[in-house]
Amino acid sequence: MKKQTKQRRTKKKTLKKQFERTLTVREGVTAYKPTPLVAAHWFRKLNQMLFNNRLSGVEIRIKKLHHDWGRCVADWDNRSCRKGTYNQRVIPFGKTDVYFYIELHSKYPKWKDFIETLAHEMVHLYQMQVMKDPYSNHNANFYAFVPKFKSVGLRLYR
Ligand SMILES: [Zn+2]
């Protein structure tokens, strides 16, 4: 048992080192257009590095977003949750099936904006999938990830 933990820690350190290199190598990348395949690749890496692999993979859609760089969407069928049986403004965990997906804007000023946006949306996904936070907004659960982000050279902000 002990050995496995140690191996996991070493793996994490290696990932961190590799990611440091990635950030340096891609520093000059501008006008970056992600593809679903690339986004899925980085979802897996960030899941290992920041979320202890606790996130389940979700669909990542790339499209022109008008007001956001990215969005984490919780989708459910309103008809299966009768009005009045729950607060319509919170996510009805346990009352009906909720489907999650992430949307990313089609073009980012820099590569780092892409990776920070994806990681930001993944925090919201963690709030929804793992913590079952009914609000899953920029609350204390969200900002609790700031030190983790800092440790791998990423910023987490609204
Ligand atoms: Zn957000």
Q: Domain residues of the chain, as ranges?
A: 30-144
Report the pLDDT averaged over residues 26-37: 97
For residue 151, the cross-strand partners are none
Measured between alpha carbons, how far is residue 82 from residues 54, 98, 140 in Å? 31, 15, 30
Report the pLDDT averaged over residues 15-43: 96
From the CA of 113, how far away is ligand 1's center (Å)? 14
What residue spans of 27-145 are helical by DSSP H?
36-50, 111-129, 140-143
From the CA of 28, how far away is ligand 1's center (Å)? 25
Report the pLDDT averaged over residues 11-35: 94
Report the pLDDT averaged over residues 69-89: 83
| pLDDT at position 84 | 65
Q: How many angstroms separate the CA atoms of 111 and 116, rounded?
A: 9
| pLDDT at position 7 | 73
Give residue 89's pLDDT band: very low, low, confident or very high (50, 70, 90). confident
Q: In the predicted model, is pLDDT for residue 77 greater than 70?
A: yes
Mean pLDDT estimate for the chain: 93
Per-residue model confidence as pLDDT tens digits over 95-142: 889 999 999 999 999 999 999 999 999 999 999 999 999 999 999 999
From the CA of 158, how far away is ligand 1's center (Å)? 5
From the CA of 138, how far away is ligand 1's center (Å)? 6
Q: How many angstroms separate the CA atoms of 123 and 143, rounded?
A: 9
From the CA of 9, how far away is ligand 1's center (Å)? 29
From the CA of 137, how far away is ligand 1's center (Å)? 6
For residue 73, the cross-strand partners are 101
Can you tell me whether residue 69 is helix, strand or coil?
coil
Measured between alpha carbons, how far is residue 106 from residues 18, 65, 68, 94 in Å? 26, 8, 11, 33
Report the pLDDT averaged over residues 43-69: 97
Give residue 3's pLDDT band: very low, low, confident or very high (50, 70, 90). low
From the CA of 37, how far away is ligand 1's center (Å)? 22
Share of the chain above pLDDT 90, in %: 78
Share of the chain above pLDDT 70, in %: 94
From the CA of 1, how far away is ligand 1's center (Å)? 37
From the CA of 126, how far away is ligand 1's center (Å)? 12
| pLDDT at position 118 | 98
| pLDDT at position 24 | 97
From the CA of 133, how far away is ligand 1's center (Å)? 14
From the CA of 3, how far away is ligand 1's center (Å)? 37
